[in-house]
Amino acid sequence: MRNEVSEKLQKCLCSVREKTDFVPQVAIVLGSGLGDYADGIRVEAEIDYKEIEGFPVSTVPGHAGKFIFGYVGSVPVVCMKGRVHYYEGYPISDVVLPTRLMQLLGAKILFLTNASGGINPAFHAGDLMLITDHIATFVPNPLIGPNLEPGVRFPDMSHVYDPVLSDVIRSVAEEQQILLQEGVYIQFTGPSYETPAEVKMAGILGADAVGMSTAVEAIAAVHFGMRVCGISCVCNPAAGISKVPLSHKEVQEAANEAAPKFKKLVTESVIRFGEV
């Protein structure tokens, strides 16, 4: 399995390097409804996922499915305009392949974003939440199988979300007068939304927001030595908290509404990441 995953990753790396020699410092993953952020990047190159040999392709509405290479301020970035999910039928090794690839391309920092359902009753649709920790117990661990270098066999997960990067995001939110919630994110497999009982369970476990991505990518990034931070856009109250049936359209609409403050927060944070 190690050879298969490593060989696939190397093929993807070679495929990208045939198209661009751009070396990013920060990798940004854009979640559902947040892909328009990439339009503000000073673009040097774009690569459709379909152009990369062996690369998993996004199939979800709101996920364009391309890498954007360019600059946020003076900071070189690679931006995933759309991610792939476990529920799309990909093996978990493919779900985290983009994260590993961006590290091999040169990225030292991974900035994760997503759309989520709010479990914390103090959260409202459109709130941004700084991810301080996660619960990934209900999805396959992406490190199962033979260990992939440069990662160690048993990586420490005491501080998945880098305290220094998180402090930068907090400072920017305060300066920009953006309400920034904080909390624990829990990842379920999807694609069905959670039942009220599952949301209640997640709340008892300590989760503040729920979604179908992010935690496995964070694990893979830490394993490969990257510094990680994350923001979740709370797009609706989760099942049982809201009496309204959940829909992907609602998620996209709420993310679009939150887009201006999201763009401000991410842009200024990334610029300052270049200094830490």
Q: For residue 64, name the pLDDT band (cuts at 50, 70, 90).
A: low
Question: Active-site residue among 120, 236, 254, 269?
Answer: 236
* Cα–Cα distance for residue pair 246/198, rounded to 1 Å: 14
| Closest C-alpha among 181, 204, 214 to residue 114 | 214
Question: Active-site residue among 27, 63, 80, 194?
Answer: 63
Q: Is it the case that residue 239 has pLDDT exceeding 80?
A: no
Is the distance from CB of 133 to CB of 161 less than 8 angstroms? Answer: yes
Whether 15 is catalytic is: no
Rg of the chain, C-alpha, whole Å: 17
- What average pLDDT does this structure show over 196-210? 96
Whether 213 is catalytic is: yes
- What average pLDDT does this structure show over 156-179? 97
State which amino acid sits at residue 154: F
* Cα–Cα distance for residue pair 39/47, rounded to 1 Å: 14
Q: Is it the case that residue 1 has pLDDT exceeding 50?
A: no
Whether 239 is catalytic is: no
* Cα–Cα distance for residue pair 112/213, rounded to 1 Å: 10
Q: For residue 244, name the pLDDT band (cuts at 50, 70, 90).
A: low
* Cα–Cα distance for residue pair 24/40, rounded to 1 Å: 16
* pLDDT at position 8: 92
Give the residue with greater pLDDT, 124 vs 223. 223
* pLDDT at position 236: 81
Question: Active-site residue among 213, 217, 220, 221?
Answer: 213
- What average pLDDT does this structure show over 35-49? 87
- Tokens coding 96: 């985290």
Question: Active-site residue among 242, 248, 256, 259?
Answer: 248
* pLDDT at position 27: 97
Give φ, ψ of 180 to 5 degrees.
-120, 110
Among 10-14, 60-64, 68-72, 272-276, the minimum mean pLDDT is found in: 60-64
Question: Active-site residue among 27, 102, 107, 115?
Answer: 115
- Tokens coding 19: 């198209």
* Cα–Cα distance for residue pair 178/173, rounded to 1 Å: 5
Whether 223 is catalytic is: no
